[in-house]
Amino acid sequence: MRRPANTDPVACGKDGDPEDPMSYLFENITEDQAQTYAVVLSAAGIEFDFIRGPRGWNLRVDSEDCERACKAIASYLSENEIHHHKETAPPEAHQKTVAGVWVALVLLVAHIIMTQAAGDRAFIVRYGASAEDILTGQYYRAVTALMLHADSVHLTGNMVGIALFGTAVCAVTGWGVGWLIILMSGAAGNLLNAVFYQTDHLSIGASTAVFGAVGFLAIAQFLKRYREPGRRIRAWIPLGGGLALLGILGAAPHADLAAHLFGFGSGIISGFFYCLLPKRPASAPYQIVCFLIAFGILMVSWWAGAGGR
């Protein structure tokens, strides 16, 4: 009775016709495996044939060449063990999440509350990312400014951006880790923007964090493709796409291009270091801890702003 083939050669055995000189070496293998083994046997000068079975391809060789064929394929698999493992390894786990939609709704609710409480302008003056105030120690503004928007058009654009790109980041990292990364990328972008302008500059909006998410995704795709042989040229496409998106959306009228650029760069840096870690998202307890850290940073920042004047 035949046994299913795997990545190791199986013992040769005839099946059916006793006059048939061919013996089965592999059974029920994939088309890719069949093509690979065909190349190996051809290089070794061993004749073979394939028979299409109901569950895959069956590889046969002459009975006299069975042992030599087994050694040739076993040697090939041994020499290419690391590369073979990479090709057959399961893809990176991705989380099913709509976390970006929830955060977009949080931005909407925050905007409504602020508008009704004191008007947009009062909150912008007190909590916006004023370069001069940040450099004098009011670092909380780098965080609180991410939740402020000038009008409904500004808000809607950032809601769409955070829903799309924030969800994509969380699908890679998990919801807790993802939002901590996005928040810190946005805050870092505002801090760097303050250092860049020094004074007489005020920045608001979640777009800095949105471009942090874009930068994270761009570098993650770049590193993933760059490690794959033959794809290093195409690996630059995600980074180029991210920069193109920055140029199209980040340079719109009244947009703070420098803040967007610093957010994008912060996302690239955070994504680079994240990709050095194990490739699967952190477990649920870590996700919760990271979410609580992000939530705590938000609460402490708003509390510092409320008591700062």
The domain ranges of the chain are 22-88, 99-306
Q: What's the angle, vertex CA 149, arms to CA 119 and CA 153, rounded to 5?
A: 105
User: In this predicted structure, which of 85-94, 135-144, 181-190, 289-298 has the lowest mean pLDDT?
Assistant: 85-94
User: For the whole model, what pTM was predicted?
Assistant: 0.67
The pLDDT tens digits for 75-87 are 887 776 644 444 4
Residue 232: predicted pLDDT: 67
pLDDT of the residue at 19: 59
Q: What is the separation of C-alpha 74 from the centre of its chain, rounded to a whole number of angstroms?
A: 36
Distance CA 210, CA 124 (A): 19
Tokens for 26? 């592999």
**Average model confidence (pLDDT) for the chain?**
81
Q: What is the DSSP string of 246-283?
A: HHHHTTSTT--HHHHHHHHHHHHHHHHHHTTS-SSPPP
Strand order across the beta sheet in which 22-29 lies: 22-29, 56-62, 48-53
Per-residue pLDDT tens over the stretch 124-149: 888 999 999 999 999 999 999 999 99
**pLDDT tens-digit map of 34-54:** 778 888 888 888 888 878 777
Q: Find the angle CA(211)-CA(258)-CA(250) to the nearest 5 degrees.
A: 50
Burial class of residue 138, CB neighbours in 10 A (0-12, 13-18, 19+)? buried
Higher pLDDT, 270 or 224: 270
Q: What is the dihedral of CA 190, 192, 196, 198, to 10 degrees?
A: 70
Contact (CB, 8 A) for 134 and 143: no
The DSSP element (H or E) to which 47 belongs, if any, is: none
Q: Which amino acid is at 60?
A: R
Judged by average pLDDT, the poorest of 60-64, 81-85, 159-163, 257-261 is 81-85
What is 22-88's CATH topology? Answer: Alpha-Beta Plaits (3.30.70)
Length of the chain: 309
Residue 135's alpha-carbon distances to 140, 146, 196, 255, in angstroms, are 11, 17, 11, 22
Which of the given ranges, 25-39, 249-263, 267-281, has the highest pLDDT on average?
A: 267-281
Give the pLDDT mean for 152-156.
90
Contact between 242 and 215 (Cβ < 8 Å): yes
What topology does CATH give the domain 99-306?
Rhomboid-like fold (1.20.1540)
Cα dist from 285 to 74, 177, 181, 226, whole Å: 43, 11, 17, 31
- pLDDT, position 140: 96
Instruction: Please compute the mean of the pLDDT values over residues 244-259 and round it to a whole number.
Output: 75
Of the segments 113-122, 228-237, 253-262, 273-282, which one has the largest average pLDDT value? 253-262
Q: Which helix (H) or strand (E) segment is 56 a member of?
A: strand 56-62
Q: Tell me how many degrees the CA angle 98-99-104 measures, rounded to the nearest 5.
A: 105
How many Å apart are CA 233 and CA 221, to the nearest integer? 13
Q: Above 70 in pLDDT, residue 223?
A: yes
